[in-house]
């Protein structure tokens, strides 16, 4: 059973405290949305949970074992990570891009095995990328690239997916598409941790919300408990109206001036 546990995480950069004793525990089946204002420490928390950043205090454990005790490839087979606005810097084909997700399983020299090719094909069809297979990844539209990156993250069949702002810059249809895919990944018994700015989508798709404010954990809990005007004001310094409409919960920020 997947269990990702950060306790008393502390990160200091250039004498500024980015994360201050943050404790989070997440298990398989959860879709955790990390929310907070710009500079609240969301990205730093995600990098630390992914084992990509050396913390100045506290520990992160995956299944009871400290992340730093895992080898790079060993960890890479268990968790996938997507940074904010992931880009592809060479015009390689979409098939190649998706296949890069298999890097930790590949030998130093040599290509994909038959099983790996089948897995890549499966991802291409699941993410509606079959027609783009040979297209150069640098010519994809924003929505297509987002799908390709998710396919690249899913292709290695990780147990944990950590993804930073997956829907930033996506139009509503593609944003909903990405959120749906993340939720169904979590529902299949995996763990998803994602930072999100869109509170409405966070409230509708996530199973739990973690709110950061100035590097500290402000509150965590089910969306209905966290997404209330008083808490939103405490986290974002902004007035809001939270309602339930036909599409589910939605959060509307209002100008209080």
Partner 1 sequence: MKHPVLLIAGLSVFLVVMFAISLLVGEVWLNPFKVWQELFLPQPHLAALIVTELRLPRAILACLIGASLGLSGAVLQGMTRNPLAEPGLLGVSAGAALGAVIAIYFGLSMLFEFTGPILGIIGGLAASALTFALARGGSAVMLVLAGAAVSSLAAACISLALNLAPNPYAAYEISRWLMGSLTDRSWNHVLLILPFVLSGCAALAMTGKALDALALGDMQAQSLGIDLGRLRTLIIAGTALSVGAATAVTGAIGFVGLIAPHMVRPFVGHQPSKVLLPATLLGAVLLLAADIATRLIGTGQEIEIGVFTSLVGTPFFFWLVVRMRRTTT
Chain residues binding partner 1 by CB under 8 A are: 47, 50, 52, 71-77, 79-83, 86-93, 96-97, 100-101, 103-104, 106, 108-109, 136, 152
How far apart are CB 112 and partner 1 at their closest, in Å? Answer: 12
* Rounded Cα–Cα distance for residues 186 and 192 (Å): 6
* Cβ contact 139:88 at 8 Å: no
* Cβ contact 9:54 at 8 Å: no
Report residue 26 as tokens.
């997440």
How far apart are CB 129 and partner 1 at their closest, in Å? Answer: 16
* Cβ contact 102:119 at 8 Å: yes
How far apart are CB 190 and partner 1 at their closest, in Å? Answer: 16
Closest C-alpha among 23, 179, 19, 3 to residue 79: 3
Half-sphere exposure of 135 (CA within 13 A, CB side): 14
Secondary structure letter of residue 93 according to DSSP? B
* Nearest CB to partner 1, comparing residues 74 and 128: 74
* Nearest CB to partner 1, comparing residues 15 and 109: 109
How far apart are CB 85 and partner 1 at their closest, in Å? Answer: 10
* Nearest CB to partner 1, comparing residues 22 and 80: 80
* Nearest CB to partner 1, comparing residues 37 and 100: 100
How far apart are CB 81 and partner 1 at their closest, in Å? Answer: 4
Residue 230: phi, psi to the nearest 5?
-65, -45
* Nearest CB to partner 1, comparing residues 61 and 239: 61
């Amino acid at each position: 059973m997947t269990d990702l546990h950060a306790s008393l995480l502390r990160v200091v950069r250039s004498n500024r405290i980015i994360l201050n004793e943050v404790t989070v525990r997440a298990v398989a089946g959860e879709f955790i949305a990390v929310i907070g204002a710009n500079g609240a420490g969301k990205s730093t928390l995600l990098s630390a949970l992914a084992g990509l950043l050396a913390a100045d205090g506290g520990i992160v454990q995956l299944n009871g074992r400290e992340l730093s005790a895992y080898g790079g490839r060993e960890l890479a087979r268990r968790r996938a990570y997507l940074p904010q606005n992931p880009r592809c810097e060479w015009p390689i084909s979409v098939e190649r891009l998706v296949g890069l997700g298999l890097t930790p399983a590949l030998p130093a020299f040599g290509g994909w095995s038959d099983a790996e090719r089948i897995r890549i094909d499966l991802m291409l069809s699941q993410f509606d990328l079959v027609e783009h297979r040979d297209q150069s990844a640098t010519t994809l539209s924003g929505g297509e690239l987002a799908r390709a990156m998710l396919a690249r993250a899913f292709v290695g069949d990780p147990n944990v997916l950590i993804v930073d702002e997956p829907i930033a810059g996506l139009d509503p249809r593609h944003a909903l598409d990405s959120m749906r895919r993340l939720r169904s990944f979590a529902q299949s018994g995996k763990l998803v941790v994602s930072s999100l700015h869109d509170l409405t989508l966070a409230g509708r798709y996530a199973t739990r919300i973690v709110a950061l404010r100035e590097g500290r954990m402000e509150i965590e809990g089910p969306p209905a408990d966290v997404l209330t005007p008083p808490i939103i004001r405490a986290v974002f310094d902004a007035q809001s109206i939270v309602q339930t409409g036909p599409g589910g919960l939605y959060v509307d920020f209002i100008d209080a001036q």
